[in-house]
Structure 1
Amino acid sequence: MLRCLIYSVCFLIIFSLPSLSQTSSIATVGKPNIIFILSDDHTNKAIGAYGNELARTPNIDRIAKEGAIFTNFFVTNSICGPSRAALLTGKYSHINGFVSNNNQFDINQFLFSRALNDAGYQTAWIGKWHLETLPDDAFNYWNILPDQGHYFNPDFINQHHDTLNYEGYVTDIITTLSTDWLKNRDQDKPFLLMIGEKATHREWLPAVEDLGSYDDVIFPLPASFYDSYKGRIAAAHQDMSIAETMNLIFDLKINVDYEKDAIYRRLNDHQRSAYKSYYGDVISKEFNDNQLKGNALIEWKFQRYMRDYFATANAVDRNIGMVLDFLDQHGLSENTIIIYGSDQGFYLGEHGWFDKRFIYEESLRTPFMIRYPSVIKMGSVISEQVLNIDWAPTLLEIAGATVPSEIQGKSFLPLLQQKAGDWRQQTYYHYYEYPQPHRVIPHFGIRTPQFKLVRFYGEQDFWELYDLNEDPQELNNIYDIMLNTNPKLVKSLKQQLAVSTNEFKDDLAKRIMQE
């Protein structure tokens, strides 16, 4: 509790300081500051700016309203660590070497943060890192969660390799550490601050003040909730369903033993009491009394999942508001680019699932919005296909740093300036991690504006093809039908896929296509 009081005092001190811009030198003029807030598993379908009227995300929405929102932002490998590796390197997983969460990231390769440092930027990463190695000299300052980290009273590893415990809620602590760094940074340099959120990663533990915040909402079942997976081997093979995979104790906090469970032993008395009162006395009692079975049980699990997921996101939005307020109060807003994105999309009951991994739209597509007052027209909507490997070259170009030829992404600064000519017409994707967890079969493929062609490989080799105009939910695999009725289309899409495997030097995919 003492540490919580210290943090509260820190916030009061920070917000009462004179404007940081008053002490900044002219050296920062022309080089914008950059704050990149990267959440975990936060789908665009849970954000108000993307049309969800149930989501309470006013601060995230504010970034979109005051800048640009991307409607077709995609990832190249829909899983946590590889997505961060793509951000740092501007390269596909097979090139940067981090193809799955089971790897160890090579911190000594090219990272855009080092290039920004060479260009005069002071750099920091605070929060979730999840790359199975330490940042070392990749950032001037870092303070990261070990592995996935914990929601309550988490440990952090700092740049001195000290592991320290912080009392409180992880999203709040990350913000405090971030604003502390902003206060104490070198005022004569522009800065890059990467804020890595743990939320909204499984097991979806809301802050104490957010418990029950969505209990008055009945979430509509997605149209594909009871998907039969007909004609789709990989979809039928997965282990990420709300019905079968989602665990009543671990995921939904039903009948938890708060004294023995390792997650809840971390909680202090106040936190544990709040959780026992809500999940024990209310939610578990409701579950035990109702004795639900069949579809009624599955739909009850869905409602509980959604309420916890959205409640967990509340703290992310609230803390983004604190960061925006900090910039306003310290005269930093006009010369600071602020970005909000997530490491990938996520399933909110579509196909009966949670999690990510597949090339299907819900996990391929990720939220992205950026505010850059001197460049981006307020309320801009960008519909071109943009990738997470494009983040690094864009930030380097904005900062006036050199974009090395080894980067595979493409700067989307021209899109922000509304000066783009030709832009990519297809997205290339490759997912590797199998069989654990969630049994998603490895696959690669392309997404064009109308079609998605996918090759699954490994224990089973097969193709899938979807017409996104006619079948946006991707329920009908038309590969065999088109092979017979429109072979020219199939041939053309395979040729386009081959172009991507060559362009991005994916030797494994090229070899599989030649078999």
Structure 2
Amino acid sequence: MQSGIHLFAADQETLSGYYQTAWIGKLHLGSLPTGFDYFNILPGQGHYFNPDFINNNNDTVRYKGYVSNLISDFFFDFIEKRDSSKPFFAVVGEKATHRSWLPDIEDLGAYDDINFPLPADFYDNYENRKAALDQDMTVDKTMVLEDDLKIGAKFGTDDQRRNSQFGRLDAEQQKAYNEYYGKLTEEFQDKKLSGKALVEWKFQRYLKDYYATAKSMDRNIGKILDYLDSTGLSENTVVIYASDQGFYLGEHGWFDKRFIYEQSLKTAFVARYPGKIKPGTEVKEFVANIDWAPTILDIAGIASPSDIQGRSFLPLLKNEKIPGWRKDAYYHYYEYPQPHHVSPHFGIRAQDFLLVRFYKGVESWELYDLKNDPGEHHNVYAEPKYQKNVADLKNRLKTLIQQYDNTEALKIFNTPVK
């Protein structure tokens, strides 16, 4: 297996020789981590129930239980057995809340009494936004009753199913799932829904399953934080919660991610650093995922390698200014036509504007005035009064493309829209 994640630093021995290191849970790079003292990772996306894990010995072992609980157990195993005279660095990679959502048994129906409000643009008509119209990720037409909402699904069986997650449940888990989703299936069939009533029912089930799946992750993060508090480790341990992207919870009528628009572009990043980060601090400046590694190395007192693209934003977390900090964020999405038929695109997110170039599926430019249109519904790229903004943003976008050596994007940038 080729390695895709490795520990790195200007002084490799400082990090691996002083810090005890671990990666636990989801990695999803088709590779094994190297340079870590301990790892126990899920193959690929992993399974919610009775998942396999690959350990340091390259052994694949199947464990009984729910994935969020097991990931926490493995973290505690690492932390209890480490050399307590040395500091540690651990990545806890949660599987939740990746689709298809399977809540823990104790969380089935946890949010069934809640009626979630529809987003204001749930019935978006995508006017003057060709790529948004051309996608295949709507709650209405794309969301599958069985795979996404488990209506009519069968669990714990060994037969070939479209969703392999459903085949991992043991007899006890299968019983609970068949009872809960079987009742939902009967209720759904009795309703004989169609039109908007069907779409909005799907939306409600989507959010109820989503939050029920998140509930176990929240509970387990709480267990880890409680452990750090009870052992005194929280006094000198930096805790970071982050994700790999945002997500659509019905905005624009969508589920999933992919587009550069705000709900999927904006990504969770929360940090606790006793004595350094004042509680309640909110960073207004743009940071990107390429900044995470240099920031963590900075916290550890280790210089970043010279070839790394990002910069440490630790001073921003401490309410300090960084000269020359980025005023724009760059984004490039590649996958096409599957999944979800989202046209590849790259763009620049500035403080008050979003400029995007779509290609392949749809050839177009889009511009959004975020001060006046925070929901990104009105493409003003062709409007005369915005042409100075277009020219300025294109220059800034080209600079970022060249900075990140994105040769494919540069070629497309220089090609007129057909």
Give the TM bin, normalised by the shorter chain: over 0.9
1:216-255 residue pairs with structure 2 within 5 A? 216-255=113-152
CA distance in 2, matches of 1:444, 1:403: 27
1:502-513 residue pairs with structure 2 within 5 A? 502-513=402-413
CA distance in 1, matches of 2:2, 2:405: 19
Aligned to 2:386: 486
- 2:227 partner letter: F
Q: CA deviation at 1:488?
A: 1.7
TM-score normalised per structure 1? 0.77
Q: CA deviation at 1:162?
A: 0.6
Aligned to 2:175: 273
Q: CA deviation at 1:197?
A: 0.4
CA distance in 2, matches of 1:110, 1:490: 41
Aligned to 2:95: 198
Aligned to 1:145: 42
The answer as to whether partners of 2:43 and 2:52 remain within 8 angstroms in 1 is yes
Are residues 1:293 and 2:191 paired? Answer: no
CA distance in 2, matches of 1:114, 1:300: 55
The answer as to whether partners of 1:127 and 1:143 remain within 8 angstroms in 2 is yes
Secondary structure in 2 matching 1:224: coil
Task: Say if 1:448 and 1:332 are closer, same or farther in 2 by CA, change over 3 A.
Answer: same
CA distance in 1, matches of 2:358, 2:60: 42
Residue by residue over 1:281-336, the C-alpha shift from the partner in whole angstroms, topping out at 9 and shown as x without a partner, is 2x111101000001100000000000000111101110011101111121211110
Task: Say if 1:274 and 1:381 are closer, same or farther in 2 by CA, change over 3 A.
Answer: same
Are residues 1:474 and 2:376 paired? Answer: yes
The answer as to whether partners of 1:105 and 1:131 remain within 8 angstroms in 2 is no
| Greater RCO, 1 or 2 (C-alpha within 8 Å, sep 6+) | 1
Are residues 1:133 and 2:31 paired? Answer: yes
Aligned to 2:19: 121
Q: CA deviation at 1:490?
A: 1.1
Are residues 1:310 and 2:207 paired? Answer: no
- 1:287 partner letter: F
The answer as to whether partners of 2:154 and 2:178 remain within 8 angstroms in 1 is no
Aligned to 1:87: none
1:18-97 residue pairs with structure 2 within 5 A? none
Task: Say if 1:213 and 1:447 are closer, same or farther in 2 by CA, change over 3 A.
Answer: same
The answer as to whether partners of 2:7 and 2:35 remain within 8 angstroms in 1 is no
CA distance in 1, matches of 2:85, 2:5: 28
CA distance in 1, matches of 2:193, 2:292: 46
The answer as to whether partners of 1:501 and 1:510 remain within 8 angstroms in 2 is yes
Aligned residues: 408
Q: CA deviation at 1:458?
A: 2.2
RMSD: 1.8
Gaps of 5+ in 1: 1-103
Task: Say if 1:447 and 1:146 are closer, same or farther in 2 by CA, change over 3 A.
Answer: same
Q: CA deviation at 1:257?
A: 2.5
Secondary structure in 1 matching 2:79: helix
CA distance in 1, matches of 2:138, 2:121: 12
The answer as to whether partners of 1:127 and 1:174 remain within 8 angstroms in 2 is yes
- 1:379 partner letter: G
Query: Which of 446, 449, 453 is matched with 2:355 structurally?
Result: 453
The answer as to whether partners of 2:248 and 2:257 remain within 8 angstroms in 1 is yes
- 1:473 partner letter: G
CA distance in 1, matches of 2:140, 2:2: 34
CA distance in 2, matches of 1:132, 1:439: 24
Task: Say if 1:441 and 1:110 are closer, same or farther in 2 by CA, change over 3 A.
Answer: farther
Task: Say if 1:106 and 1:166 are closer, same or farther in 2 by CA, change over 3 A.
Answer: closer
CA distance in 2, matches of 1:124, 1:331: 20
Residue by residue over 1:372-428, the C-alpha shift from the partner in whole angstroms, topping out at 9 and shown as x without a partner, is 102111221222111111110000011011111211111111011211144321111
- 1:305 partner letter: Y
Query: Which of 188, 192, 197 is matched with 2:85 structurally?
Result: 188
Q: Which moved more, 1:379-388 or 1:147-156?
A: 379-388
Aligned to 1:178: 75
The answer as to whether partners of 2:102 and 2:209 remain within 8 angstroms in 1 is yes
Aligned to 2:248: 347
Query: Which of 285, 292, 314 is matched with 1:413 structurally?
Result: 314
Q: CA deviation at 1:487?
A: 2.1
Aligned to 1:19: none
Secondary structure in 1 matching 2:91: strand
CA distance in 2, matches of 1:317, 1:333: 18
- 1:143 partner letter: N
The answer as to whether partners of 2:111 and 2:211 remain within 8 angstroms in 1 is yes
The answer as to whether partners of 1:114 and 1:139 remain within 8 angstroms in 2 is no
1:331-342 residue pairs with structure 2 within 5 A? 331-342=232-243
CA distance in 1, matches of 2:397, 2:407: 13
Residue by residue over 1:425-469, the C-alpha shift from the partner in whole angstroms, topping out at 9 and shown as x without a partner, is 111111111111111111111011100000112243210100111
The answer as to whether partners of 1:431 and 1:442 remain within 8 angstroms in 2 is yes
Task: Say if 1:132 and 1:114 are closer, same or farther in 2 by CA, change over 3 A.
Answer: farther
Task: Say if 1:113 and 1:324 are closer, same or farther in 2 by CA, change over 3 A.
Answer: farther
Residue by residue over 1:194-243, the C-alpha shift from the partner in whole angstroms, topping out at 9 and shown as x without a partner, is 00000001011110000000011100000110011111111111111111
CA distance in 2, matches of 1:117, 1:141: 14
The answer as to whether partners of 1:456 and 1:462 remain within 8 angstroms in 2 is yes
Task: Say if 1:108 and 1:308 are closer, same or farther in 2 by CA, change over 3 A.
Answer: closer
CA distance in 2, matches of 1:164, 1:113: 35
TM-score normalised per structure 2? 0.94
Q: CA deviation at 1:502?
A: 1.8
Gaps of 5+ in 2: none
Question: Alignment identity in percent?
Answer: 55
